[in-house]
Amino acid sequence: MDSDKDKYIDGINNDFITSNKNEFTKSIFSFEDDIKGFLGIKTPSSNRNDLKPLNILYQV
């Protein structure tokens, strides 16, 4: 999960993950901001959101 501040879809995803934990869930980790910040990866320009997944894979 990530904690992008005030992002509507992240809230929906995070709520879904949290509501589906069960006795087999050891813990749920949340990045402070997002995985890109955690890994120190620069994001592509704002008009190219389609490149975000490729950029992360390329940098890792």
Angle, vertex CA 51, rays to CA 49 and CA 53, nearest 5? 100
In a domain, 1, yes or no: no
Cα dihedral: 50, 51, 52, 53 (round 10):
90
pLDDT, tens only, 4-53: 665 777 788 888 999 999 999 999 988 887 888 888 888 877 788 788 88
pLDDT at 56 exceeding the cut of 60: yes
In a domain, 3, yes or no: no
The answer to whether the beta carbons of residues 1 and 13 sit under 8 Å apart is yes
The answer to whether the beta carbons of residues 44 and 15 sit under 8 Å apart is no
In a domain, 27, yes or no: yes
In a domain, 39, yes or no: yes
Q: How many Cα neighbours within 13 Å face the side chain of 15? A: 6
pLDDT at 1 exceeding the cut of 80: no
pTM: 0.58
Q: How far is CA 13 from the centre of its chain?
A: 9
In terms of residue numbers, what domain contains 47?
A: 8-59
In a domain, 2, yes or no: no
What is the domain count for the chain? 1
